[in-house]
Structure 1
Amino acid sequence: MLESDMEAGRNFENPSRLGLLFLSNSFIAHPFSRVCAARPRALASCSKYRRLEKRKSRLAAYLPSVESLNLQDFFPHGPLRARSACSFGHCPALGSKFRTALPVPLPVGTAGRRSGFHVYTYLRISMRVLLVRLPVILLTLVLAWPASAPAQPPSAPGPPSIRREVRVGVPGVPAALDPAAALEGTIPLIARQVFDTLVAYRDGTTDVEPALATRWSVSRDGLTWSFTLRDGVRFHDGTPLTAAEVAVSFTRQFRPEGAGTAVVWPALFRGTPGVVRDVRAADTRTVQILLVQPYAPLVTVLAHPGLGVVKIVTGSDGTARLIGTGAYRVVDVSSGRLALEAVPGYWGSPPKSERLVFLEVDDDDQAEAELDARTLDVWFPPGPPRRTEGALSLPGLRVGYLAFETEKVPFSRRKVRQALAAALDPVVIGVALERAAVPLQSFLPPGMWARREGSPVLGGSRRAVKTLLAEGGWSEGLRPTLLVPSEASPVNLAKVAEAIRAALAAQGIHLALRLEPPDAARAILQRGDHDLALLEAPVTGGDPHLFLFPLSTSEAAVKGPRALNFSFYRNPQLDGLLIRASQLTFRSERQRLYQRAQVLLAQELPWLPIYVRLNWALTREGVRGLRLQPTGFHHFDTVTIEAPQGSGR
């Protein structure tokens, strides 16, 4: 090994351990040995030198002597250089611990040596001698080895075993899994594990990334979107994914025979078929979505699990069922229970859990008992769980807001609306929200792409409130009515409304509360017979258009059943921003427009963001890798369960 390295003319930048032992004799014969002996602390490399000297003493009986190597750069950190090297007119730069110069002749005059005898030649001879003696060395070491090695210490306990099944508690388990049947809740949560979408939501946000489609493009007129499918994707029955299958999967949701049960399509595409004219396969790997008008939210909403690609197959019992291309497939469905099994050869990262079992869990008592008994691993409650240990939460996409009827005095005056915003203390509101939600200080919730991080919307000084009320012409005798729907919700709307009334009363603004059943409250809102109302709205599909447009534009401010803008605020400038943002295909330009729209909303305040609901999960000890998502469509492919050692569960 050493001889071949020498003949190749290599500098020993990284010599082998065996090579270092062979060269130890030459190192300790280095002329700098006198320096280290005289000044042991002068050079940092002396300690290295001493280690090599010890090696020589151990191997002296076996290794042949070698003439001293003139190693010029043995000390990388010091200015000292070998005098013999500089005498040849060559002083290489210091830097490497084992860097050697060009071959330098050994000193002449040594007994038995002839002039011009080089170290490389001598090393070749020495290596031949060593190869002859090597068997003797090895035999000596074997005979000298102790007869019995010391006993091994007892091994430390191994890591806990990993259970490959995750049991998930949910409020309700569907008898049949159809992703098109629900926008929120358990169905899209389970569908996300079984049916892949063309694009997928990124972790922690509503921005999207490639999934079944690796890339996409749009025509110049914004009416034709083309998606290129990923190679090698197969359905759970082993058949390959094609563009024709994607087209059939989408058209089943807006055809007359399927439109009656489809909930997702009309909500995301403004009706059935809405803005979509047709879906077709351009070739085996390209699917095209043809639009009636430009609709930029298309790419974002395609990540919703309700638009997962399905294939209809006939089971052994003759019934039709849906299969997908996701990481899991359905293997068992019974009352209150649905089991999924990991699919071998999945195109994405293989899931860490082999099985997911969704179980119906109704309340805290049942969930806590099953978590303690280790028959349940994760529970997703509809609201905050009673137990705090093992609880996880993340802001979701359901926003509570205060809508002013801007067609009525005094809320037609911007200064009055600004005064109420300044009078609301988010700390007081946060206490009333308890653990179901958190105060929201912007017009889009955290995790939403295009959200503007700016000045807080709520809160201000008493002087600012008084000044704004005076400029807005507020009268002391005014007593507007706050309409509150009395619907069941994790957020106690009546309690939040009472906190709002108390906060405003402290600033001299007095309100009357009016609680109405949901249907009656909606009729009042559609007629515009309210002064202000405490309401909730979801960010459907994760796109700002499906939240800001219905709450803020003139198109949705038409009284009657089609009313969605319950502030009945109309502003042509805001309309123009939101309409353009819904049509432009460049996401960076859309984001810029939505940022400007949020600035305008903060100035005009037709409605006030009050809170954003939290998504909750309760886990038992040993659950690892659970990542909550603002959409509520959580991932389970990274979840594992660490079972205690010796446990069979």
Structure 2
Amino acid sequence: MQHSRIRRGALAAIAGVSIAALALAGCASERGDGGGDADATDAAVDGTFIFAASADPANLDPAFAQDGETFRVSRQIFEGLVGTEPGTADPAPLLAESWDSAEDGMSHTFTLKEGVTFHDGTDFTAEAVCYNFDRWYNWTGLAASEALSYYYGKLFRGYVETPDAAVYKSCTPDGDYSVTIELNQPFAGFIPALSLPAFAMQSPTALAEFDADGIGGSEEAPTLSEYGSGHPTGTGPYKFDEWAPGEQLKLSAYEDYWGDAGQIDEIIFRVIDDPTARRQALESGSIDGYDLVGPADTGALEEAGFTMVSRPPFTILYLAFNQAVPALQDIRVREALSYAVDKDALISQVLPEGTEKATQFMPDVVNGWNPDVTTYEYDPEKAKSLLAEAGYDESNPLTLEFNYPVDVSRPYMPDPEQIFTVLSSQLAEAGVVTNPVTDAWSPDYLDKITGTPNHGIHLLGWTGDYNDTDNFVGVFFGQPSAEWGFDNPELFAALSEARGVPNLEEQTALYEDINQMVAEFIPGVPLAHPAPTLAFAKRVESYPASPVNDEVFTDIVLTE
């Protein structure tokens, strides 16, 4: 969730303007600053905060997760070495007070915060840091699969059984509160990547006691470990109490937290998968807030006096083409599908106000965005012509499975069924027959799409985790993936080279070329950059909106 390199200032400015315009900036103190002047008013404030989640977390162990609902919960329980500056995607100290990186980027020494404990009383030390890094690296089998250790595999590339591919080399304690991480290969985004919830520090004691890596099942349907289903143990301001899947999850304030406790001493995440039901729950006063407000609800809630918060668009919604499907291996088919999509109509019909049209698989505030990239403007007749060249016509139409999730809203995909309806209608105008295939979001849809080849064209997207180009195109296209189903060594090599280049100008040029390569290869259609909106009860004076969703509830300011 970090450095935007050349465009970092632009992103920070956008975030600041958006939040300030909603009277939300400046109220929340930086995490752990010891604020403390809220004591006089806290006694009059109801410290229970009920937030409506659109789905259950997939896993209480963030190292085995990739979804926003899991990470929203895990950010309250866990902390990483690196955090983000409030309201931006830029890296900031968290459990590491500072760090020094070698000029070649191959080693990084962290000075750790002292006096921090995990929720089970275990001390946070350099040994605990190395335990976590070594845990990730030593995963094998199902634990090392794309369906589970998604982020580690995408960013650190290899495990103990594939050391030649691995970015990570070793972790060495330098006393109790200093630790050095050595890398096998350069990774320019290493520091900002550590702000990801997947790389949060977890208690070595609890990980061992509750068999955190005891994952069962299969890639398509993994089962949680005892730790991941009921014993998450971090250093964050809130500790885990209980979880009733499909209903709610409870957290309470950790009494020995090292930082500012804030006003909220109990959090209840209540699962309400329907956007209309979430709105009604807010209106009735049974919840304090929710994310992913439906575009049609925003104006009415604002008019009624609810506190509305918009995040800057740091998302990408895309229609992906799985090239494990033979028809999608034909570049003419992928090009035809691109011309068949009317992005402007999609945005105006079903996406929230403030959504920006996408030309590539990352927002324009990210380094390497290419203003001259090849685009495929809506042209259904051209789509028909290309399909005819590929051998498809009215008597032999192109027929594809179209996968999308149900009973969920995501920041980049507020209403999947509405999006599917619009896109399938547009494709039909070009002569494409789509057969809908639906699955519940977590774990079924994500596991199927990212962990198996058993899907067709499909809806998915991304909320940027930190401001680095590799976090977008590198994660999507940096290596073979079950989601996209293609092997493109030239593209993989270009992305591998770019992620290790320390010179900013050189790296920018490389990523601009890569975005053009992606546009010509057409792995899918980048559709839009939606601007997610949250709604809160009137008692919520301020909410720490973050473009990368780094939102910890100790920073919420309540008035009653």
Same fold (TM over 0.5): yes
Q: Which residue among 506, 512, 534 is the counterpart of 2:433?
A: 512
Q: Does 2:276 match 1:355?
A: no
Task: Identify the residue that residue 109 of structure 2 maps to in structure 1.
Answer: 226
Q: Does 2:402 match 1:484?
A: yes
Name the CA distance, whole Å, in 2 between partners of 1:455 and 1:541: 25
Deviation (angstroms), 1:265: 4.0
Whether the aligned pair in 1 keeps the contact of 2:314 and 2:463 (CA below 8 Å) is no
Aligned ranges 1:558-569 → 2 under 5 Å:
563-566=482-485, 568=486
Q: Which residue among 156, 162, 165 is the counterpart of 1:269?
A: 156
Task: Identify the residue that residue 239 of structure 2 maps to in structure 1.
Answer: 330
Whether the aligned pair in 2 keeps the contact of 1:447 and 1:630 (CA below 8 Å) is no
Task: Identify the residue that residue 21 of structure 2 maps to in structure 1.
Answer: none
User: Which one is further off, 398-407 or 617-626?
Assistant: 398-407
Flag the 1:384–1:243 CA change in 2: closer, same or farther, 3 A.
Answer: farther
Name the CA distance, whole Å, in 2 between partners of 1:244 and 1:417: 50
Flag the 1:475–1:292 CA change in 2: closer, same or farther, 3 A.
Answer: same
Task: Identify the residue that residue 399 of structure 1 maps to in structure 2.
Answer: 317
Name the CA distance, whole Å, in 1 between partners of 2:475 and 2:464: 11
Task: Identify the residue that residue 282 of structure 2 maps to in structure 1.
Answer: 371
Residues 446-496 of structure 1, C-alpha deviations (whole Å, 9 max, x = no match): 48742626368766486x975996999688947433431154254565654
Q: Which residue among 321, 346, 362 is the counterpart of 1:429?
A: 346
Aligned ranges 1:51-450 → 2 under 5 Å:
162-171=45-54, 178-219=61-102, 222-230=105-113, 233=116, 241-255=124-138, 260=143, 263=149, 265-266=152-153, 268-270=155-157, 272-273=159-160, 275=166, 276-312=168-204, 323-326=233-236, 328-330=237-239, 332-333=241-242, 335=244, 336-341=248-253, 346-347=258-259, 350-363=260-273, 367=278, 371-372=282-283, 374-380=285-291, 388-389=300-301, 390=306, 392-394=309-311, 395=313, 397=315, 399-403=317-321, 412=330, 421=338, 424-431=341-348, 433-435=350-352, 438=355, 440-446=357-363, 449-450=366-367
In structure 2, the gaps of 5 or more residues are: 1-40, 211-225
Deviation (angstroms), 1:397: 4.1
Q: Which residue among 640, 643, 648 is the counterpart of 2:557?
A: 640
Whether the aligned pair in 1 keeps the contact of 2:453 and 2:483 (CA below 8 Å) is no
Task: Identify the residue that residue 628 of structure 1 maps to in structure 2.
Answer: 545
User: What is the SS of the residue equivalent to 2:510?
Assistant: helix
Question: Partner amino acid for 1:536?
Answer: L
Name the CA distance, whole Å, in 1 between partners of 2:503 and 2:118: 32
Flag the 1:452–1:356 CA change in 2: closer, same or farther, 3 A.
Answer: farther
Task: Identify the residue that residue 536 of structure 2 maps to in structure 1.
Answer: 619
Name the CA distance, whole Å, in 2 between partners of 1:374 and 1:590: 50
Deviation (angstroms), 1:498: 5.1
Name the CA distance, whole Å, in 2 between partners of 1:284 and 1:596: 45
Task: Identify the residue that residue 594 of structure 1 maps to in structure 2.
Answer: 511
Kindly name which structure, 1 or 2, has the bigger radius of gyration based on alpha carbons: 1
Residues 314-342 of structure 1, C-alpha deviations (whole Å, 9 max, x = no match): 8xx9999665433x132744653423226
Residues 42-72 of structure 1, C-alpha deviations (whole Å, 9 max, x = no match): xxxxxxxxxxxxxxxxxxxxxxxxxxxxxxx
Task: Identify the residue that residue 545 of structure 1 maps to in structure 2.
Answer: 470
Name the CA distance, whole Å, in 2 between partners of 1:512 and 1:208: 46
Flag the 1:563–1:309 CA change in 2: closer, same or farther, 3 A.
Answer: closer
Name the CA distance, whole Å, in 1 between partners of 2:534 and 2:71: 16
Task: Identify the residue that residue 35 of structure 1 maps to in structure 2.
Answer: none
Name the CA distance, whole Å, in 2 between partners of 1:176 and 1:475: 45
Deviation (angstroms), 1:580: 1.0
Question: Partner amino acid for 1:607?
Answer: G
Name the CA distance, whole Å, in 1 between partners of 2:57 and 2:401: 35
Residues 613-649 of structure 1, C-alpha deviations (whole Å, 9 max, x = no match): 6645331112121133344442323312222xxxxxx
Whether the aligned pair in 1 keeps the contact of 2:52 and 2:269 (CA below 8 Å) is yes
User: What is the SS of the residue equivalent to 1:245?
Assistant: helix
User: What is the SS of the residue equivalent to 2:484?
Assistant: coil
Let me know the Cα RMSD of the aligned residues: 5.0
Question: Partner amino acid for 2:342?
Answer: D
Flag the 1:432–1:385 CA change in 2: closer, same or farther, 3 A.
Answer: closer
Residues 258-294 of structure 1, C-alpha deviations (whole Å, 9 max, x = no match): 9859746445433545623332213333222233433
Name the CA distance, whole Å, in 1 between partners of 2:559 and 2:327: 62
Name the CA distance, whole Å, in 2 between partners of 1:333 and 1:512: 46
Flag the 1:451–1:163 CA change in 2: closer, same or farther, 3 A.
Answer: farther
User: What is the SS of the residue equivalent to 1:306?
Assistant: helix
Question: Partner amino acid for 2:460?
Answer: E
Whether the aligned pair in 2 keeps the contact of 1:167 and 1:359 (CA below 8 Å) is yes
Q: Which has the higher contact order (CA 8 A, sep 6+)?
A: 2
User: What is the SS of the residue equivalent to 1:583?
Assistant: coil
Question: Partner amino acid for 2:187?
Answer: Y
TM-score, structure 2 normalization: 0.65
Whether the aligned pair in 2 keeps the contact of 1:233 and 1:325 (CA below 8 Å) is yes
Whether the aligned pair in 2 keeps the contact of 1:493 and 1:534 (CA below 8 Å) is no
Name the CA distance, whole Å, in 1 between partners of 2:559 and 2:518: 49
Name the CA distance, whole Å, in 2 between partners of 1:487 and 1:338: 26
Residues 404-429 of structure 1, C-alpha deviations (whole Å, 9 max, x = no match): 85998998557x86676455332222
Whether the aligned pair in 2 keeps the contact of 1:397 and 1:445 (CA below 8 Å) is yes
Name the CA distance, whole Å, in 2 between partners of 1:196 and 1:502: 44
Whether the aligned pair in 1 keeps the contact of 2:128 and 2:204 (CA below 8 Å) is no
Question: Partner amino acid for 1:399?
Answer: L
Flag the 1:310–1:406 CA change in 2: closer, same or farther, 3 A.
Answer: closer
Name the CA distance, whole Å, in 2 between partners of 1:285 and 1:599: 45
Deviation (angstroms), 1:217: 4.1
Flag the 1:186–1:468 CA change in 2: closer, same or farther, 3 A.
Answer: closer
User: What is the SS of the residue equivalent to 2:321?
Assistant: strand
In structure 1, the gaps of 5 or more residues are: 1-157, 557-561, 644-649
Q: Which residue among 590, 610, 617 is the counterpart of 2:527?
A: 610
TM-score, structure 1 normalization: 0.57
Name the CA distance, whole Å, in 1 between partners of 2:387 and 2:285: 62
Name the CA distance, whole Å, in 1 between partners of 2:342 and 2:140: 51
Question: Partner amino acid for 1:444?
Answer: F
Name the CA distance, whole Å, in 2 between partners of 1:170 and 1:495: 20
User: What is the SS of the residue equivalent to 1:303?
Assistant: coil
